[in-house]
Structure 1
Amino acid sequence: MTEKTIIWHNPRCSKSRETLALLESRGDALEIREYIDTPPGVDELKSVMAMLGFQSAHEWLRKTEPVYRELGLKAIEDEAVLLDAMSKNPKLIERPVVIHGGKAMIGRPPEQVLELF
């Protein structure tokens, strides 16, 4: 049985669509999660952040999103507050995220995720 690959996908994002197409072309078992519609909880974010190898949620935030400025996240160092903001405002999560084999990677550029295999 092959291990399933999960992609946190936003169909409105070109990099996310390119990464999904790349994964589909491989023919692997794939779970597509439209994370804007089904946002991850704080514990799941913590787990995936560890798989990404990030030390801080700041490494994973989309700093160009208006809500980033509206919430004043640049000045916040409390990881719990940052992760809660990401869970409540999933547009803040840098995308797409591909999870495979206990590791995760951001598909920027899309080809980067192939390092997981």
Structure 2
Amino acid sequence: MIRIYHNSRCSKSRSALALLEEHGKPFDIVNYLETPPSAIELKTLLSQLGISARELLRTGEDVYQELGLENPSLDEETLIAAMAEHPRLIERPIVVVDGKAVIARPPETLLAFLRR
């Protein structure tokens, strides 16, 4: 089963969702702003993505500046906690298939990911 962490206000997220629909792949949608992933779920996603917490952060969000998340001395736990508390900080969309994940940005990266 495929899972997409989706934000309906994001054009990239909508495009990724449309690609999944076009390819007839069954999937679950997680509206992560309404149902934010826990810190434990975020750690799993980071492992599946193969990236650090800092790489998953949306640096253009106001809350990023407000929380001082640009500070390079902040550890993974602090960054993960910030994303769990403020899900707008999470880069999107994230698509998970068979224990592996990709940030489908641009959405075309999703096509290559699904073909692997």
The two structures have a TM-score, normalised by structure 1, of 0.93
Deviation at 1:41, TM superposition (A): 0.3
Choose which of 44, 47, 51 in structure 2 pairs with 1:47. 44
- CA–CA distance in 1 between the matches of 2:76 and 2:65? 17
Choose which of 31, 43, 46 in structure 1 pairs with 2:28. 31
106-115 vs 65-74, greater mean Cα deviation: 106-115
Cα shift readout 1:55-100 (whole Å, capped 9, x = no counterpart): x211010000000000001114211111010001000000000000
Backbone CA RMSD of aligned residues: 0.8
Structure 2: gaps spanning 5 or more residues: none
Aligned to 1:65: 61
- CA–CA distance in 2 between the matches of 1:14 and 1:29? 21
Q: How many residues align?
A: 113
Alpha-carbon distance change, 103 to 6 in structure 1, aligned in 2, over 3 angstroms = same
- CA–CA distance in 1 between the matches of 2:2 and 2:15? 16
Choose which of 94, 97, 100 in structure 2 pairs with 1:97. 94
Structure 1: gaps spanning 5 or more residues: none
Q: Which amino acid aligns with 1:84?
A: A
Q: Which amino acid aligns with 2:5?
A: W
Choose which of 103, 109, 112 in structure 1 pairs with 2:109. 112
Runs of 4+ in 1 over 6 A off after TM superposition: none
> Is residue 5 of structure 1 aligned with residue 39 of structure 2?
no
Confirm or deny: 8 A CA contact 1:19 1:96 kept in the other structure.
Answer: yes
Confirm or deny: 8 A CA contact 1:6 1:99 kept in the other structure.
Answer: yes
- CA–CA distance in 1 between the matches of 2:65 and 2:74? 15
The two structures have a TM-score, normalised by structure 2, of 0.94
